[in-house]
Amino acid sequence: MFAGWTCSVDSSTSTTAPPRDRIRVSDPHGVLDLVYPGADVLVVLDNGPDTHKSKLEIEARHGVPVRLLARTEIEAYYAPTAVVSWLQRGATLDPAQERVLSDEFASNPSKRRLRELATKYLGRPYDVVNDGRAIVNLMPEREIPAEIKDIIYRLVGE
């Protein structure tokens, strides 16, 4: 299962996400209950500070494979061009600003940076689920990192 670049289609591990959008990574049985018996399941986690422990718990408790990504935040995989396109939906940017923002995000791709950009250019907080989904949907296939493509290919076939 790989969707929305988060734990499940409309779920988040963020404690600031609305309760209906949250699941606990260490207890994904809510997601696993949604799949039919024998379904091919793969849990994908970023490589944050507690994810190795979560990986071991999930594998032991649920018997499903867990893949840890190389980066510590899923937002670090977002293409700078997609981030700029996302900002353009709510802000007017000139070409020089677009280049600067793209370069800045490329050098510091993080959730913290996205929060700063949303506040500065959109006048609102960054929404991990909805804004993350919007950014991912703006990424051309050629800009999806190889590590993410490998996971998608594993799940849906080449």
List the domain range (segments joined by +) for residue 138. Answer: 74-143
E strands, the chain, in order: 43-45, 66-68
Is residue 91 in a domain? yes
Q: Are 139 and 89 found together in one domain?
A: yes
Q: Are 79 and 58 found together in one domain?
A: no
71 or 50: whose pLDDT is higher?
A: 71
Full-model pTM: 0.74
Q: Are 78 and 138 found together in one domain?
A: yes
Q: How many structural domains does the chain have?
A: 2
Residue-wise pLDDT for 47-61, tens only, equals 988 889 889 988 888
Is residue 94 in a domain? yes
Is pLDDT of 103 > 90?
yes
Report which of 149, 129, 142, 145 is spatially closest to residue 21, judged by C-alpha positions: 129
Residue pair 50/73 in contact (Cβ under 8 Å)? The answer is: no
Q: Are 129 and 91 found together in one domain?
A: yes
Q: Are 83 and 134 found together in one domain?
A: yes
Is residue 9 in a domain? no
Rounded to whole angstroms, the Cα distance separating 95 from 152 reads 33
Question: How much is the pLDDT for 24?
Answer: 47
Mean pLDDT along residues 79-104: 94
Question: How much is the pLDDT for 106?
Answer: 94
Report which of 147, 151, 149, 140 is spatially closest to residue 79, judged by C-alpha positions: 140
Share of the chain above pLDDT 90, in %: 53
Q: Are 81 and 92 found together in one domain?
A: yes
Q: Are 58 and 114 found together in one domain?
A: no
